[in-house]
Amino acid sequence: MSNFKNVQPLDDFNWEEFENGSSVEASKEDLAKAYDETLNKVSEHQVVEGTVISADKKEVIVNIGYKSDGIIPASEFRYNPDLKIGDVVEVYVENQEDKKGQLILSHKKARLTKSWDRVNAALESEEVVNGYVKCRTKGGMIVDVFGIEAFLPGSQIDVHPIRDYDVFVGKTMEFKVIKINQEFKNVVVSHKALIEAELEQQKQEIISKLEKGQVLEGTVKNITSYGVFVDLGGVDGLIHITDLSWGRVSNPHEVVELDQKINVVIIDFDNEKKRIALGLKQLTPHPWDALDENLKVGDHVKGKVVVLADYGAFVEIAPGVEGLIHVSEMSWSQHLRSAQDFMKVGDEVEAVVLTLDRNERKMSLGTKQLKEDPWEAITTKYPEGSKHTAKVRNFTNFGIFVELEEGVDGLIHISDLSWTKKVKHPSEFTKVGEPIEVVVLEIDKENRRLSLGHKQLEDNPWDTYETLYTPGSVHTGKITEMMDKGAVITLNEGGEGFATPKHLQKQDGTQAQKGEELEFKVIEFVKESKRIILSHSRTFEEGADEPKKRAPRAPRAKKEETIAINNVAAATTLGDLDALAQLKAQMEGK
């Protein structure tokens, strides 16, 4: 008890409140209030700063001045291997208290939130930012900017086309934010934009010093199907494919290769559009200027077919020196064909120089001149009266065009096809492509025309018909064609006659029909127009009691006196022909 003898009660202690228990409760509220006032006010979904109070491989504990500390996975600080206790870091408050009363923080979201604000600010201010090239992706690269994965298109890496993207992976480079998609949180950056402004100034300086005809050294930057882009040291120029070589170029890769250093000449440039036209072939003499000065019309040259069209072929006889062989100079044939029928691209050909204009740099060639012109010896090879076999080329209403040989054509008039048959159209007589026997009737060397005949291969049967079909004579014939105006009768002795309807009435009063074989009397015979007018009714109407006049039969003639008659409609026997020939000979003797 002696230990407590000096203890004195408090003068202001309220024993009444102590007995009622209110003193303890009040002190707790005051304590809680005082405690809360010492802590930071924290709202959810905001970014605040905190201090690292503990860190290991699994988690980092951060104090933000709140009643409890927040725990953050260590993986969110992987980018910062130097993190240590005491470091101040930004954190995002996800939840003040979870079910366990734990403060939930995120450093990753804090970085993203801050980064998004910084990226948007960089877009507005056109600020240059640093970024780390993480990896390749389709069409470009992925760049880490403030913790945000931004897209760097391949076209925005450099002003020059990039062929090897991998060399940029792992590098930290400067970029400009050029586009942001707020909805999808996509960011596009460019490295090219940083150097374009500087290059633009260089271009203006270079272009201001350019002059037409100036020779510069450049580097082949890009090769396309239409030409080659050359870097002249900050400004690009284009060598069109036609200005690469004096000869024809089908692919620019045949002349230059990427990164090759070449000398070029300025052909033209445009200050406004900043386009520079360059030439490579202009640095070498034009091949026409180096062409053999002794070359003249009539000389033979050799070359390669480089271009082929329907109308002709271009032949390169030396690099950059071409001549045209028109299709009409490929063959003596007068039938114009396509040049593809005679040659193809790549063929080595020999030709004759037809025209040569060194000033205009034009040359025409011919290959048919290597062969003799068939019309030079036409009268010797195809004299009048000579017989030949030709090929039917085409028909017209007035005749048949035939080819005796390449370059030698002729016309058989429709009237010269047959002595006896009336041909309405040549297609009734033969077909295109068929052979046909001909006789040369006339030669027009100047106009390269031959008049030919087919019927002249045989004697004219009308000379015999004249003595056979005398007016009043009766002959047997068959009706082979019926028309409104009458009928065509094929006579047994050869030839055709015609009878009007009134002369086709038979003795019983009926009308003769097609296919009937009857006797006919010759009413009229006209040799010039090859016309024989016949009548069946006259055979019984006039002189019915008198003996009928018949063509007398002559004894068989010798073989050497036989007259051959070519008539497809006639059914004449060899014996009849002999008799006709003998009869003619007897009458001429009288």
Residue 39 structure tokens: 């802590």
Q: What is the pLDDT of residue 45?
A: 67
Q: With 0-12 CB in 10 A as exposed, 13-18 as middle and 19+ as buried, what is 248? A: middle
How open is the CA angle 108-113-115, to the nearest 5 degrees? 90
Domain 126-195 matching CATH 2.60.40.10: the answer reads no
* Residue range 462-589, CATH number: 2.40.50.140
Q: What is the pLDDT of residue 520?
A: 93
**Per-residue pLDDT tens over the stretch 242-278:** 888 887 888 888 888 888 899 998 888 876 656 888 9
Q: What is the DSSP letter of 63?
A: E
Average pLDDT estimate for 214-237: 86
- At 200, give phi and psi (nearest 5°): -60, -40
Confidence class for position 2, pLDDT limits 50, 70, 90: very low
Q: What is the pLDDT of residue 521?
A: 92
Choose which CATH entry (2.40.30.40, 3.40.228.10, 3.50.30.60, 2.40.50.140) describes domain 300-370: 2.40.50.140
- Structure-token match 């440039």, residue found: 269
The Cα 507–Cα 500 span in angstroms is 16
Higher pLDDT, 198 or 21: 198
Confidence class for position 28, pLDDT limits 50, 70, 90: low
Contact at 8 Å (CB) between 206 and 194? no
The terminus-to-terminus CA distance of the chain in angstroms comes to 201
Query: Which amino acid appears at position 137 of this protein?
Result: T
Contact at 8 Å (CB) between 237 and 266? yes
Q: What is the pLDDT of residue 15?
A: 57
The Cα 125–Cα 575 span in angstroms is 121
413: Cβ contacts below 8 Å, ≥ 6 apart: 398, 399, 451, 453
Choose which CATH entry (3.40.50.2020, 3.40.50.300, 3.40.50.261, 2.40.50.140) describes domain 210-283: 2.40.50.140
**Per-residue pLDDT tens over the stretch 43-98:** 666 778 888 888 888 888 888 877 778 888 888 777 777 888 888 888 878 767 76
Q: How many residues does the chain have?
A: 590
555: Cβ contacts below 8 Å, ≥ 6 apart: 579, 582
Contact at 8 Å (CB) between 178 and 145? no
**Per-residue pLDDT tens over the stretch 290-345:** 777 888 888 888 888 888 888 888 998 887 888 898 988 888 777 667 888 788 88
C-alpha distances (whole Å) from 515 to each of 349, 479, 481, 485, 490 are 65, 5, 8, 17, 10
Average pLDDT estimate for 565-581: 41
- At 237, give phi and psi (nearest 5°): -130, 160
Q: What is the pLDDT of residue 94?
A: 76
Q: Does position 558 have pLDDT exceeding 70, yes or no?
A: no
Average pLDDT estimate for 171-188: 84
Looking at domain 47-111, what is its CATH homologous superfamily? Answer: Nucleic acid-binding proteins (2.40.50.140)
* Strands of 446-557, DSSP E: 449-453, 474-483, 486-491, 496-499, 517-526, 531-535
- At 383, give phi and psi (nearest 5°): -70, 160
Q: What is the pLDDT of residue 155?
A: 82
Q: Does position 289 have pLDDT exceeding 90, yes or no?
A: no
- Structure-token match 């284009």, residue found: 238
Q: How many helices (H) and strands (E) does the chain have?
A: 8, 30
Looking at domain 378-457, what is its CATH homologous superfamily? Answer: Nucleic acid-binding proteins (2.40.50.140)
Confidence class for position 33, pLDDT limits 50, 70, 90: low
**Per-residue pLDDT tens over the stretch 498-535:** 999 989 988 888 888 998 899 999 999 888 778 889 99
H-helix segments, 174-254: 192-208
- Strands 435-444 and 449-453 come out as antiparallel
Confidence class for position 29, pLDDT limits 50, 70, 90: low
Q: Does position 23 have pLDDT exceeding 50, yes or no?
A: no
The Cα 368–Cα 365 span in angstroms is 10
Higher pLDDT, 553 or 217: 217
For the ranges 140-154, 195-209, 227-241, 509-523, the lowest mean pLDDT is seen at 195-209
Query: What letters, b where the CB count within 10 A reaches 16 and e where it falls short, cover 396-427?
Result: eeebbbbbbeebbbbbbbbebbbbbbeeeebe
Q: Does position 406 have pLDDT exceeding 70, yes or no?
A: yes
- What is the residue extent of each domain of the chain? 47-111, 126-195, 210-283, 300-370, 378-457, 462-589
Q: What is the phi-psi region of residue 234: left when phi exceeds 0, alpha when psi lies from -120 to 50, beta otherwise? A: left
C-alpha distances (whole Å) from 199 to each of 215, 250, 264, 330, 364 are 21, 33, 21, 57, 50
Average pLDDT estimate for 126-154: 85
H-helix segments, 341-407: 378-381
